Structure 1
Amino acid sequence: MVPVSFDFPFCGDEFRLVQDRALFWPRENALLVADLHLEKASFFAKHGQLLPPYDSRETLERVALAVRETGARRVYTLGDNFHDSAGSQRLEEHAEGMLAALTRAVDWVWITGNHDPAMEAKSGGTIAEELVVNGMVLRHMAKRGEARPELSGHFHPRVQVKIHHRHIRRPCAVIGHNDDQTCGRMILPAFGALTGGMNAADPAIIKALQPASTVDAVVPAGKRLARFPLWREAA
């Protein structure tokens, strides 16, 4: 099967949704993923809630596939890479080998989040709190009032719609645009295997993207990219 990807313009550049949850930036030959939450299962196991301990393997397999599909030479992770700062110390041997192979194969940059502010790059890569790449701010959580183009994660947005009497709930990107639609900020869906989601229309998400004139959910639908209006500035 040929992988389906979805190209769309954002802030004067071209981007591509890959595997519904990753963002490819052709100009930078970079793949962006948010909220991997590696070792979430082992975190819960420590607290008595036993889950199958293979979430990190599945998540890293997805990342490796997205790298192969796009040919990306750099990966930016937008925070909450591990479910807690000590997560990198709990990686089992197989998952640690997978991660080490990925960080050797590409230029890997970890941006830290609220779950893993003190994480270590035990298996390679470099660490930053946030970055500016070609005028685009990369951080974990959208900063209200940010006037520059921005890519972030944190909220795990999912669009919830009703089509032909069916309720559909799927991971999505959320984009807040300025008045003339030329630029804005985007919240990526969570990429990790054990990540839940928040309603993309939740007031917390809308608030985080202010100021904006419009806020839309963007989600693959069949062979096209669908947009769902979430919020419009009052006239």
Structure 2
Amino acid sequence: MNGHAFSLAGAELCALPSGALWWAARRLLCVADLHLGKAERHARRGGAALPPYETEETLARLDADLAATGAETVVCLGDSFDDDAAARALPEAARTAVARLQVGRRWIWVAGNHDPGPTDLGGTHLAEAAIGPLTFRHIAAPGATAEISGHYHPKARLRTAAGRVARKAFLIDGDRAILPAYGTYTGGLCCEDPALTALMRPEAIAVLTGRRALAVPMHPRRTARA
């Protein structure tokens, strides 16, 4: 599997370049912050116009990850929809795509701060999910261990020949993993932000997404060369 392998609470996990988390022993794929319907919400609220195909693109990438891994369980770590109205306004093609992805799989929607209540999109809706030694929740709980979360949309900086760029990134230490936002056109929070440094141990790493998963130290003002 092309990604960064790591262990958390005895679970052997892999941070994929796409931003998804793979747990092979459980045949489980976890994604955070899909924010389906983001373009629709921006248009509805008079915000900056976004390309209208973000939901289609996000679901296509998820489809590709499911096909590559053969996942039997999917955990969506909250903020799967950009808001209640965006969930209700999902076009029929997107609803059909979600239903197709769910066929033959256990599908868990973990509640997020943007999420609506239970929808008619199938699957199980939970405040958080305990699976084996791990707890899956939307927002990291200070002091928690063996935790997988999302919410912050972490990004890390990378030095390239063209200059510094920011990429979506996993943040990983011995207590937890915080996943990057999987959705298209989702913003991000720099891993040097105090909200994130307060949660992560000094030895934490950032695993940048992109063509390959690249692990670098999560440390203020430190960058890596591509």
TM-score scaled by structure 2? 0.88
Alignment of 1:45-124 (within 5 A): 45-49=43-47, 50-116=49-115, 118-124=116-122
Which piece of structure 1 moves more, 71-80 or 54-63? 54-63
Report the equivalent of 2:30.
Answer: 32
* CA spacing shift, 1:173–1:60, aligned 2, 3 Å: same
Return 5+ residue gaps in structure 1 as ranges: 178-183
Aligned residue for 2:185, secondary structure, equals coil
Q: Cα 1:66–1:222, aligned 2, differ >3 Å: closer, same or farther? A: closer
Q: Could you tell me how far apart the structure 2 residues matched to 1:11 and 1:213 are?
A: 18
Decide whether the 8 Å contact of 1:34 with 1:188 is kept in 2: yes
CA contact (8 A) 2:203 2:217 kept: no
Aligned to 1:228: 217
Residues 1:214 and 1:103: Cα distance change in structure 2 (over 3 Å) = same
Q: Give the aligned partner of residue 149 of structure 1.
A: 146
Q: Secondary structure at the match of 1:194?
A: coil
* Superposition deviation, residue 145 in structure 1: 1.4
Change (3 A) 1:126 1:10: same
Cα shift readout 1:103-129 (whole Å, capped 9, x = no counterpart): 22421100011111x333312111001
Partner Cα separation in structure 2 for residue 62 and residue 222 of structure 1: 13
- The one of 198, 203, 210 equivalent to 1:207 is 198
The one-letter code of the counterpart of 1:136 is L
8 A contact 1:144–1:208 mirrored in 2: yes
What percentage of residue pairs aligned between the two structures are identical? 36
Q: Which runs of 4+ in 1 moved over 3 A?
A: 3-6, 220-225
SS in 2 for 1:119: coil
Give 1:172's aligned residue.
169
- Per-residue CA deviation, residues 80-125 of structure 1 (Å, 9 max, x unaligned), is 0100123221111111110111122421100011111x33331211
Between the two proteins, the alignment pairs up a number of residues equal to 219
CA root-mean-square deviation: 2.0
In structure 2, the residue matched to 1:44 is 42
Contact 2:17 2:212 in 1 (8 A): no
Name which of structure 1's ranges 100-109 and 123-132 shifts more when overlaid on structure 2: 100-109
Unaligned runs of 5+ in 2: 221-226
Give secondary structure in 2 for the equivalent of 1:161.
strand
Cα pair 1:85 1:120 within 8 Å, conserved: no
Specify the alignment match of 1:181 in structure 2. Answer: none
Please state which structure has a larger fraction of its residues in strand.
Answer: 1
Deviation string for 1:151-173 (max 9, x for gaps)?
Answer: 00001011113355720211110
Matched AA of 1:40: K
Aligned in 2, Cα 1:40/1:221: closer, same or farther, shift over 3 Å? Answer: closer
- Cα distance change of structure 1 residues 134 and 218 upon mapping to structure 2, 3 Å threshold: same
Maintained 8 Å contact 1:20/1:219: no
- Alignment correspondent of 1:21: 19
- CA 1:213–1:167: 2 relative to 1, 3 Å: closer
- Structure 1 CA distance for aligned equivalents of residues 213 and 179 of structure 2: 18
Task: Tell me which amino acid in the other structure corresponds to 1:227.
Answer: V
CA distance in 1, matches of 2:214, 2:11: 17
Q: Secondary structure at the match of 1:162?
A: strand
Query: In structure 1, what is the Cα distance between the partners aligned to 2:52 and 2:10?
Result: 42
Which residue number corresponds to residue 180 of structure 1? none
